[in-house]
Amino acid sequence: MSLQRSRLTARVAYGGLGRPVEHGVVVMQDAAGDERILFVGEADEAERRWPDAVPKDAGFAMSPPPVNAHAHLDLTTMPFVEDAYETFIRAVIAHGRNGGRGLEAAKRGVAELRAAGTHTVGDIVADEVTMRWLLSEADVQGVAYWEVFAPDPADADRTFEDTVEKLRAFRALERPGKMRVGLAPHTPHTVSTPLLQRLARLAQANDLPMQIHVAESPSEVTLHATGDGPLRALMGPLLANFTPSGLSPVQYLADLGVLEARPTLVHGVQVDEADVRTIQRAGSVVVHCPRSNAALQCGRFPWELYAKHGATVAFGTDSRGSSPSLDVQEEVSAAAGQHGARANPAALVWSAVKGGHRALGSTPPRIVRGDPAEGLVTWRVQVHEARPVSDI
């Protein structure tokens, strides 16, 4: 029987346990086509223990498959928008009115995810047909978050009752190894205060994963601070009953007790250090979508501030409407480009794998000796690091 061993060197080698190893090595053994992982760790140790293994270059990283912690699969056929956040929202509404959202787009989205090697996703779901398909048929794992959009406090009771009923029906469709049901109040300003509080308590009491877009655009910060600005102009009568708290969007959520449900916070771009501290203390994971943030002129995510305070960061692609692909590896590559030397390569990989599983409340894979080679993916993207630091 032919037995071949190889030592694959990567800028980052990660088996899902502990900290990713920089300039690490994966040792693989191929016994007549049956390829197994022998080791993930330090290069010196690999060379000492398997001196005869054939050295190979594996590029940027080898790790368990990265997680796409935030997507809108039902927007997969939407044309890509590179413009202000408010222009994007108008385009999403128009795309939906033209019948572009829904099951067929979500199916294409899942196919794109699988082609990119992603098995685990956090998806925001806006219609019941797509939700039922995701829970019972789609060949992906993760969380399908039911989206709630109800800015008028007068609608709070009715929307709450309706949401409870829908979630009950969706949960009955959950199957082991498939997607779980979650809850996604859209943003802190498009769900009224009483409803937001009730939804957060509901999620907490029922152990429902929750995800909310927050601190995405500069206009969101202005709206919460003063009640004015481009978002107010965009939403018009929808925000007729919105009263600004005068707080940052993150502090507003903290003030309402919403962070007690430990929601996963999507974007978290427009934050200050106090916000980051609040997020870390709450134990919420933040999903970083750098390409969407750049396309919609939302600013640069303060990666170094989250790192300084030890907050957990995951990666998401957001929708195809604001991102050129659903490939989370490309998202990480874009993040490295935006943050330059401020983002450590090992931390980027950790976030894409472990951070993603934490965001969705799932168990990350841990590679042990003898596991099949498929347990680790060799990243396709090149990640250029230590570029000159430049803000977008």
For residue 146 the two structure tokens come to 């039911």
- What type of residue is 237? P
List Cα–Cα distances, 161 to 30, 144, 198, 199, in angstroms.
57, 20, 10, 10
For residue 151 the two structure tokens come to 């800015």
Stretch that binds Zn ion, among 131-139, 217-225, 299-307, 318-326 (CB under 5 A): 318-326
Distance between CA atoms of 130 and 128, rounded to whole angstroms? 5
Min separation Cβ 323 and Zn ion, Å: 10
CB nearer Zn ion, residue 6 or residue 323: 323
Q: Which of 325, 265, 250 is nearest to 295 (CA)?
A: 325
Beta bridge partners of 378: 62
216, 220, 330, 331: which one is catalytic? 216
216 carries an active-site annotation? yes
Stretch that binds Zn ion, among 46-54, 111-119, 220-228, 317-325 (CB under 5 A): 317-325
Min separation Cβ 36 and Zn ion, Å: 39
Q: Does residue 147 belong to the site contacting Zn ion (CB under 5 A)? A: no
Stretch that binds Zn ion, among 143-151, 273-281, 310-318, 358-366 (CB under 5 A): 310-318
Min separation Cβ 70 and Zn ion, Å: 6
Beta bridge partners of 288: 315
CB nearer Zn ion, residue 69 or residue 138: 69
**What does the DSSP 8-state code read for residue 247?**
S
Q: Does residue 216 belong to the site contacting Zn ion (CB under 5 A)? A: no
Min separation Cβ 252 and Zn ion, Å: 19
Q: How many residues bind Zn ion (CB under 5 A)?
A: 1
Distance between CA atoms of 301 and 12, rounded to whole angstroms? 23
Q: Does residue 318 belong to the site contacting Zn ion (CB under 5 A)? A: yes
Q: How many helices (H) and strands (E) would you count in the chain?
A: 15, 14
Min separation Cβ 334 and Zn ion, Å: 16
Stretch that binds Zn ion, among 97-105, 315-323, 340-348, 352-360 (CB under 5 A): 315-323
Distance between CA atoms of 176 and 345, rounded to whole angstroms? 34
Residue with tokens 């779901």: 125
CB nearer Zn ion, residue 11 or residue 189: 189
Binding site for Zn ion (CB under 5 A): 318
**Residues labelled as active-site residues:** 216
